[in-house]
Structure 1
Amino acid sequence: MKTVLVTGASTGIGAAAARHLAKQGWCVYAGVRKQSDADALHASTPGDLHPIILDVTKPDQIDSAVATISEGLKGARLSGLVNNAGIANMGPLALQPMDTFEAHFQVNVIGLMRVSQAFIPLLGADEARTGDPGRIVNITSVGGRLSAPFLGAYAATKHAVEGLTDALRRELVIYGIDAIAIGPGSVKTPIWDKAEEANSDGPYASSDWAKSLETFEQVMLKGGRTGLPPEKVAEVIETALDDPTPKARYAPVPDKLTNWYIPTHLPKRMLDKIFWKRFGLK
């Protein structure tokens, strides 16, 4: 049986991926931060799904997850690790508190690397294990290639994950372990609602960016409510895990021509002007 760990599986892409893979016959370990999330996920998912408490910023919980999954594998290799856990908080970089800025890196980058390092032996580095080597699938974002205003911290971490994914793939080849990035566009997930809640008290209400940030928030919230269903991204995750010849990077983006191909090929100065006009930045 193919076995996979999905981090950040309480809601959104992570929950959709855990459910989808379990339905497709995978043995899924789903990392969540609260027991209530574990209970809800288990109750709503048919198939071989095992929620585990896993905060990627807590080394003791990572160690516990390794021990639990290692025991479940019974000497076999882990087929896949999906690094999905992540946070996003909007705000102008000039004013965003440093503890908020640093928290993005603690979860989105350092937490991802802690988990990856911990599971590399189970994925293939431990020669005593049997079976084919596994794959690491890192969930990045359009923000891993395009930096929007007011998401500087988030975009910086996703740019970092893009670089880490390429480096891991080029290093882990000695064990047969692949590393693949998936950079979705707008997806119907609660991540931007959480970001709105974090800004609901108006921490930047009196700043020079207040009006532009309000416009930006509404654009992001609309994208989060009308974007791709997370189940579509879950299907791409399965492809990345299971395709005999996977791509190094997948970009499931709605309206791909206008939201991906054109902006990624425009000169940066031209893209600057588009952002400035759209969000009233003068």
Structure 2
Amino acid sequence: MERHARLGEFLQVRRSQLTPDGVGLPDGVRRRRVPGLRREELAMLAGVSVGYYTRLEQGQSQNASVQVLDAIADALQLDAADRTYLHSLATPGHRSAKAEPAPDETVSADLLTLLGAMTGVPAVVLGRRNDVLAWNPLGHALLAGHLDVTGPSRPDERPNMSKIVFLDPHTRDLYVDWDAKARVVAGNLRLAAGRHPHDRDLLALIGELTVASPDFAAMWADHTVQDCASDVYDLRHPLVGALRVQQHTLKLNQTPDQSLVTMTTEPGSPSATALTLLAQAIGEPSRGNR
């Protein structure tokens, strides 16, 4: 889809998700033919003309200023991740480029050494398309012990975390609140699509998930945008049972398209004991969960 068309679709969906009462406007006496705010109401809240906002939604105005976009973001009540996505869609210099393959992603030797030293802490390195570029033994055992542990070392066979979440029944069973996890993954993938609109492999991944997973298709249509940072998940692991983990997603300065994802548990908790048992089950000497 052309970038300006995606911008219009994003604006329309987000406008439809607001109500007059939710933004402090009277509902009025006219019956609403469609859910959400009318274009004229959104334009008024943003302080722009109805004609200009209409052209923006229809893809006929492609040079919106930062100030106008911020005003529209305020009117739509967008959070930081949504705003980043909105600005990326409206960047003129990226609209006309053709889809092309992205360069192969590799993990630095220093990062691999760090992963190896992180005993007792599950850790995974994800790439720009959520490909698993590397994981330590405990990260593999916690999240995908049924998959080949050597998969990330073969670029053509790397597991993809988005596919794992939406298409793998083992992972659906792993997360107690699978829907919440899936929405985070879908929202993060949309943010990646805004940053890399011409990544051919990323577009193919989105297309594959849309066809293969009705859940993904529905979440993608909601235009949810989410930047993974820190989340708490309850898991039901097939080997060690129930545990709660705090997931931290750390961006890497030298490779900004890559992230280091770690999972920790509360010291002294039953979850920490379960994680220690998992480390012992895979033959990893645990130094305690930190």
Give the TM-score normalised by structure 2.
Answer: 0.24
TM-score between both structures, scaled by the size of structure 1: 0.24
